[in-house]
A and B are shown apart, each in its own frame.
Chain A
Amino acid sequence: MSRDDSPKDQHRLIATAMNAGSPQARALGFETLEIGGGVAILKVPYRPEIVGDPETGVIAGGVVTTLLDHASSQAVHAAMAEWTTIATLDLRIDYMRPAEPGRDILARAHCYKLTRSVGFVRAVAYEDHPDNPVAAAQAAFMLDSSAGRKPGANLKPPRDPGDKA
């Protein structure tokens, strides 16, 4: 797995597939501005429906959570030479300040370490510059998370209900 000479075209395809293919990402209008070398920069365009507190007109913290999760997973894909399924293990987010009302939010995620099983990511959400973040995140992703699971696997009940689905 190489991090620096990653095939940009393939990463671009993954980003497009993840934004257009994921109904929630599509519903929120996520767009990948940059992807490659373990880094992904995504944008969520401002819309009144995704506001958290109408008194302030600021995009909901939950949308920022979704954006940071989505950007972080694209950063993991951008750090891998070959595509594999991944799943978020944990995600910690610090909200530093309210976002500016009525503005798009960007997220820059960097997968700074990749092991055989886990990808580690740091990400920030901001309007203009990553140095002035709205929120910062730290996440871990399991690689090859659906090993052996076929499409539609979640439509069936788990074999052992306590099993990790």
Chain B
Amino acid sequence: MSDADTRLSAVLSSIPYARFIGMRAELAGDEMTAILPFADHIIGNPMLPAIHGGVLGAFMEMTALAQLSIAEPLKRQPRTIDISIEYLRSGRPLTTFARAQIKKVGRRIANVHVEAWQEQRAAPIAALRGHFLLTSAED
């Protein structure tokens, strides 16, 4: 396992809520894909049924945190400063994927964009932009 692999599994297993919703992630080189298998307990609207918007937001937020953790060694989890979520399509009872792009990492703050999709990458179901406070391992 590479350092990034180790850091990724460490960060995801260290977030109890990530386990609670059943989230995992895979690395292909330096590219990470977060995966949220469908499960009954992540449903928000049982009529359609649709995945809870909050779960999708949390999934994308934790995707951003995981991406930051593999990008560089951090002593502790980055702290979320703010997030802005756009809901584009309802989350159907299918596996959801997400990828994060670190737009900028400064000394203290990182800006990350995340997109989540199901059957088609070109038809995202939700997007997130966020700022995160970093504490690097050197501090």
Interface residues of A (CB under 8 A from B): 21-27, 48-55, 60-63, 65-70, 87-95, 98, 146, 149, 151-155, 157-158, 161-162, 164-165
Contacts and interface: CB of A to CB of B under 8 A. Distances in A.
B58 A66 contact: yes
Which of A63, A66, A70, A146 has the most chain B CB within a 10 Å cutoff? Answer: A66
B80 A61 contact: yes
B53 A93 contact: no
A9 B37 CA distance: 37
Interface of B: 14-17, 19-21, 40-50, 52-55, 57-59, 61-62, 76-77, 79-90, 92-93, 119-120, 122-123, 125
A90 B81 contact: no
8 contacts: A49-B19, A53-B76, A60-B58, A62-B21, A66-B53, A67-B54, A88-B85, A154-B49
Contacts of A155: 49, 92-93
Given A95-B79, A164-B89, A24 B44 contact: yes
B73 to A, nearest CB: 16
B70 to A, nearest CB: 17
B137 to A, nearest CB: 14
A50 B92 contact: no
Given A23-B42, A23-B43, 12 more contacts: A23-B41, A25-B52, A49-B20, A50-B17, A60-B17, A62-B54, A90-B84, A93-B84, A94-B82, A146-B47, A151-B48, A165-B90
B77 A53 contact: yes
Contact of A88 (B20, B87, B122): B87
**Chain B binding site: helix, strand, loop or mixed by DSSP?**
mixed
Contact of A62 (B14, B57, B119, B125): B57
Given A22-B52, A50-B17, A95 B81 contact: yes
B20 to A, nearest CB: 5
A165 B89 contact: yes
B71 to A, nearest CB: 18
Given A23-B42, A151-B47, A154-B48, A88 B53 contact: yes
Nearest to B58: A62
A66 B48 contact: no
B120 to A, nearest CB: 6
B87 A53 contact: no
